[in-house]
């Protein structure tokens, strides 16, 4: 049982190391030796789990997409998943961007569990995009979106990766579309465009802003996107 767990941990270490390296350097400039060095595992471990670098990249995309879809769904659902805050540290982890109501439950361990509820679908969508901006930090040139980065580099070189990258983007767009449809029914989002069209514009705008921020090493394009997005979406 322990050996199975350790094998899983080794695979996870490889995927995490590969994700960070490919996010910073891309697919082509990331070598297998560099990956195993960063993961702290023997080179033979790589080929135990992955028969090629291409299949390794596919596993990275799967992991990134799965985690990011969970993030999107947490933000866009009417009740977000619980957040754990260190009560003893006295930190306030409320995002300044969220329009929410909160119920707080103290635990015997000294932490508090905060359940966050956003009443309006548009508020939840905007909170998600603002969280993306917050995650980029003060050095956008060293961050970015793995899906966007690999799409630019690999779509013309690997049909396997291109198809999986497109699937990831389609999944995100579908989540946005569902939320926008609800926001339209609430009267908060324009109805002259269908949710699918709006979600396509929104996703393309986000990925473009991330790319521009990375190229300019500035958050300005992301902040412009966040500022203009409500004006683009709101009912006219």
CB-based contact 147:65 (threshold 8 Å)? yes
User: Alpha helices, DSSP H only, in the chain?
Assistant: 2-25, 32-39, 43-49, 53-76, 121-136, 146-154, 159-185, 195-216, 220-233
Q: Which residues of 191-209 are buried (b: 16+ CB within 10 A; e: fewer)?
A: eebebeebbbebbebbbeb
Round to whole Å and give the CA distance between 59 and 15.
7
Tallying the residues shown for the chain, one arrives at: 236
| pTM over cut 0.85 | no
Q: Which CATH fold would you assign to the domain 54-78+120-233?
A: Tetracycline Repressor; domain 2 (1.10.357)
Q: Which residues of 216-234 are buried (b: 16+ CB within 10 A; e: fewer)?
A: eeebebbeebbeebeeebe
Neighbouring-strand partners of residue 115: 103
To 5 degrees, how large is the angle CA 132–CA 127–CA 112? 95
In this predicted model, what pLDDT tens digit does every residue of 37-78 receive, in sequence order? 999 999 999 999 999 999 999 999 999 999 999 999 999 986
What is the DSSP annotation of 34-72?
Answer: HHHHHHTS-HHHHHHH-SSHHHHHHHHHHHHHHHHHHHH
Task: Quickly state the pLDDT bin for 203 (edges 50, 70, 90).
Answer: very high
CATH 1.10.10.60 assigned to 1-51: yes
To 5 degrees, how large is the angle CA 159–CA 164–CA 168? 145
Task: Quickly state the pLDDT bin for 8 (edges 50, 70, 90).
Answer: confident
CB-based contact 35:17 (threshold 8 Å)? yes
- pLDDT averaged over the chain? 82
Q: Where in the chain is the domain with CATH 1.10.357.10?
A: 54-78+120-233
Round to whole Å and give the CA distance between 170 and 229.
20
pLDDT of residue 138: 67
206 alpha carbon, distance to own chain's centre: 11
Of 48, 118, 110, nearest in space to 80 by CA: 118
Q: Does 234 score more than 80 pLDDT? A: yes
Q: What is the DSSP letter of 81?
A: P
- 3 state SS of 154: helix
Q: Where in the chain is the domain with CATH 1.10.10.60?
A: 1-51
């Amino acid at each position: 049982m322990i050996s199975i767990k350790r094998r899983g941990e080794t695979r996870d270490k490889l995927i995490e190391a590969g994700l960070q390296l490919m996010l910073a350097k891309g697919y082509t400039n990331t070598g297998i030796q560099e990956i195993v060095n960063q993961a702290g595992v023997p080179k033979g471990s790589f080929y135990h789990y992955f028969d090629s670098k291409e299949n390794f990249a596919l596993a990275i995309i799967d992991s990134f997409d799965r985690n990011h879809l969970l993030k999107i769904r947490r933000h866009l659902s009417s009740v977000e998943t619980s957040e754990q805050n260190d009560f003893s540290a006295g930190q306030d982890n409320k995002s300044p961007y969220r329009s929410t109501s909160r119920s707080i439950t103290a635990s015997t361990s000294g932490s508090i569990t905060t359940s966050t509820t956003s009443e309006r679908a548009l508020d939840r969508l905007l909170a998600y995009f603002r969280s993306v901006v917050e995650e980029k930090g003060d050095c956008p040139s060293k961050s970015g979106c793995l899906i966007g980065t690999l799409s630019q580099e690999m779509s013309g070189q690997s049909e396997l990766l291109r198809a999986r990258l497109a699937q990831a983007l389609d999944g995100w767009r579908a989540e946005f579309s569902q939320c926008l449809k609800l926001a339209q029914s609430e009267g908060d989002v324009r109805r002259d465009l269908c949710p699918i069209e709006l979600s396509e514009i929104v996703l393309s705008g986000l990925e473009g802003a991330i790319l521009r921020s990375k190229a300019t090493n500035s958050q300005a394009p992301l902040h412009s996107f966040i500022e203009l997005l409500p004006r683009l979406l709101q009912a006219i």
